[in-house]
Amino acid sequence: MRGSIQTASLADLAKHTILSTESRPGEWEEWLMVAGYNGPPPMRQQRYNHYFVTLMATIDGFGLAIGPIPVLAQDVQLGRLCTPFPKITVRRPSYFVLTPFDADKPPAMHSFIDWLTKVGAEAVPL
């Protein structure tokens, strides 16, 4: 959510355009349920085919979006996005590192995967 958008309470969500991604179906519905939102569904919605496009539309001020904090942390830190409801979180399934079965796996790759796993474990509240 962009810093200039005023959202003081969950009831304010109905006033805004909701941005979502085709590859993350049901994400808003689940977040609204976890948040305990029981107001009218937001009437204006835009759906994009890729999360990066949704993120850029959010940064450009087209509406409100949700996403994984580890992915958004730098944009929040730089003030491009804000988190008006930081205590409302939805547990998501794990992320996976995929490598071709027959790929050469040098020590640097193993180190990177170990680092990625460590950072992921630290970033996600359990």
Q: Count other Cβ atoms within 10 Å, centred on residue 25.
A: 11
38 belongs to a structural domain: yes
How much is the pLDDT for 70?
77
Q: What is the mean pLDDT of the chain?
A: 84
Instruction: Say if residue 3's pLDDT is above 50.
Output: no
14 belongs to a structural domain: yes
42 belongs to a structural domain: yes
What pTM was estimated for this model as a whole? 0.69
91 belongs to a structural domain: no
84 belongs to a structural domain: no
How much is the pLDDT for 126?
41
How much is the pLDDT for 38?
86
How much is the pLDDT for 123?
65
Q: State whether residue 71 is helix, strand or coil.
A: helix
Residue pLDDT, tens place only, 64-94: 999 888 788 899 999 999 988 888 888 776 6
113 belongs to a structural domain: no
How much is the pLDDT for 7?
65
Number of independent structural domains in the chain = 1
92 belongs to a structural domain: no
Tell me which residue range forms the domain holding 71. 10-77
Q: What is the DSSP string of 15-56?
A: GS-EEEETTSTTHHHHHHHHHT--SPPPS-EEEESSHHHHHH
Residue pLDDT, tens place only, 22-41: 988 889 999 999 999 988 87
102 belongs to a structural domain: no
Q: Read off the pLDDT of each residue in 47-52 and give the average, rounded to a whole number.
A: 93
CATH number for the domain that contains residue 25: 3.40.190.10
